[in-house]
């Protein structure tokens, strides 16, 4: 099977107001909200609010940045993928890419440390809401024997020493 078009000639656009290109983001945002990510950001991230509102509403801006990165955005311009089609029906508070860029440019090392504190507190919440290892709380005993013995016999061809 081959593609019938050159890569430069193919364009996918979701500009219909009833289409959603990244519908799988909705469960991700719900999980983040259930784990308390917006409230953790509101508690921990403190930015001065300037006249143009750069430091205002850090929780909404960080949530938009995280969601955009999950959707594949790797630049500020790519954050616009959260503002097309019916995305506004799924998500409220999506910020413009220019607003998110101004927000990120206002970050200092202290703000990065604040986000790190948010991440440290979010991880246990994620682990409790997404049980990836069912039965991990069950205790298991594993006996590892470090005895090395010489092996011999017809069934052990080629073996000299074995654990």
Domain segments of the chain as ranges: 12-129
Q: How many CB atoms lie within 10 A of CB 11?
A: 6
User: How does pLDDT run along the chain (163 residues), one tens digit per residue?
Assistant: 444 445 555 566 656 777 777 878 888 889 999 999 999 999 999 988 888 888 889 999 999 999 999 988 999 999 988 887 778 778 887 889 999 999 999 999 999 999 999 999 999 999 888 877 777 778 777 767 676 766 666 666 655 555 5
CA distances from 49 to 10, 19, 46, 65, 99 (A): 43, 35, 9, 19, 13
Contacts of 24 (CB under 8 A, 6+ apart): none
CB 20 within 8 A of CB 86: yes
Q: What pLDDT score was predicted for residue 66?
A: 92
Its pTM stands at: 0.69
In total, the chain counts a number of residues equal to: 163
């Amino acid at each position: 099977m081959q593609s019938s078009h050159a890569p430069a000639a193919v364009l996918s656009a979701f500009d219909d107001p009833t289409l959603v290109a990244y519908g799988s983001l909705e469960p991700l945002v719900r999980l983040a909200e259930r784990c308390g990510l917006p409230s953790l950001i509101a508690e921990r991230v403190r930015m001065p609010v300037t006249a143009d509102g750069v430091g205002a509403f850090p929780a909404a801006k960080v949530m938009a940045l995280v969601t955009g990165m999950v959707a594949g955005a790797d630049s500020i311009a790519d954050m616009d993928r959260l503002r097309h089609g019916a995305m506004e029906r799924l998500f409220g508070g999506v910020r413009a890419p220019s607003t998110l860029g101004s927000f990120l440019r206002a970050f200092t090392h202290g703000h990065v440390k604040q986000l790190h504190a948010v991440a440290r507190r979010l991880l246990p919440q994620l682990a409790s809401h997404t049980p990836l290892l069912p039965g991990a709380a069950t205790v298991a005993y594993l006996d590892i024997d470090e005895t090395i013995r010489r092996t011999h016999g017809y069934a052990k061809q080629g073996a000299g020493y074995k654990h």
